[in-house]
A = this chain, B = another copy of it.
Amino acid sequence: MYFEGKFKEYLDDLASNKPAPGGGSGAAAAGALGISLLSMVANFTIGKKKYQDVEAEIKEILSSTEKLRAKLEGLIDEDVAAYGEISAAYKMPKESDEEKKARTEAIQAALKTAMAVPLAICRNLSEAIKLCGPLLEKGNMNLVSDVGVGAELIAAGFASGLLNVEINLSGIKDSEMVEQIKTELYPKEKEMQIIKEKIVKETKGKI
C-alpha cells in the first residue's frame, strides 16, 4: 500500500488550512508524477531485445527524465519553504516609516524567492514535455498510454506552475522583471499546449 505515511500526510496537509503546502507544491507534485511515467516507459524499453536498436537513445532519455524528476521532487518541498518567507515578511512590524519600508522590501524579496519556485517548475516541465515525442515513437509500444498520461500531467503541472508565477508577479513591483518573465513563459505555454495535444492525439492513434 502506497497511500499512507508521508504520502497521506502530504495530501492531508495540502487539503487543510495549514499555510503550506499549497498550489505551487501541488504543481511540482503533478509534474513529478508525469515525469515518473516517462522514466517508467524508458525503464520498460531498456533491456528488451525488440528495442535494442534504440537502447542507447532511450538510456539518454532516461538520464534526462531522472534528472528532471529529481528537480521537480525537490520543488515540492522548496515551495513550502518559500511560502514561509512570504508569511514571515507580511508579519513584520509596520508602525514607523522605517518599519514600513523594511517590510515592503522584505515582501518584495520574498515574492521574488517564492516566484522562483513555480518558474523553475515551468522551465523544467518545458524540457520534460520534449521527451514525450521520442518515447512515443521509439519506446515500448505496450506503454503508449503512459506516455499520454505523462504528457497530460506535465502540461497540467506547467499550467499550474504558471498560475503560481502569475499570482506572485501580480505583487512584484519590478516591472522590468515582470515583463521579462512573461516574455519567457508565454511562448513556452503555447509550445507546451501544442506538444501536449500532438502527443495525446498520437497516443490515441496507437491505442
Contact = CB atoms under 8 A, between A and B. Distances in A.
Interface of A: 1-11, 13-17, 21-23, 25-27, 29-30, 32-37, 39-40, 43-44, 65-66, 69, 73-74, 76-77, 80, 143-146, 148-150, 152-153, 155-156, 159-160, 163-164, 166-167, 170, 200, 203-204, 207
B36 A3 contact: no
Given A7-B6, A66-B15, A73-B8, A159 B167 contact: no
Nearest to A62: B15
A11 B33 contact: yes
A25 B145 CA distance: 12
B152 A164 contact: no
B14 A36 contact: yes
A21 B14 CA distance: 22
A23 B154 CA distance: 13
Residue among A35, A160, A203 having the largest count of chain B Cβ atoms under 10 Å: A160
List the number of copies, as a whole number: 2
B11 A10 contact: no
Contact of A43 (B15, B144, B164, B200): B15
A167 B145 contact: yes
A204 B40 contact: no
A21 B163 CA distance: 29
Contacts of A150: 23
12 contacts: A5-B7, A6-B7, A7-B10, A14-B33, A17-B40, A17-B43, A22-B40, A23-B149, A26-B33, A144-B167, A166-B204, A167-B207
B2 A10 contact: yes
Contacts of A15: 35-37, 39-40, 43, 65-66, 69
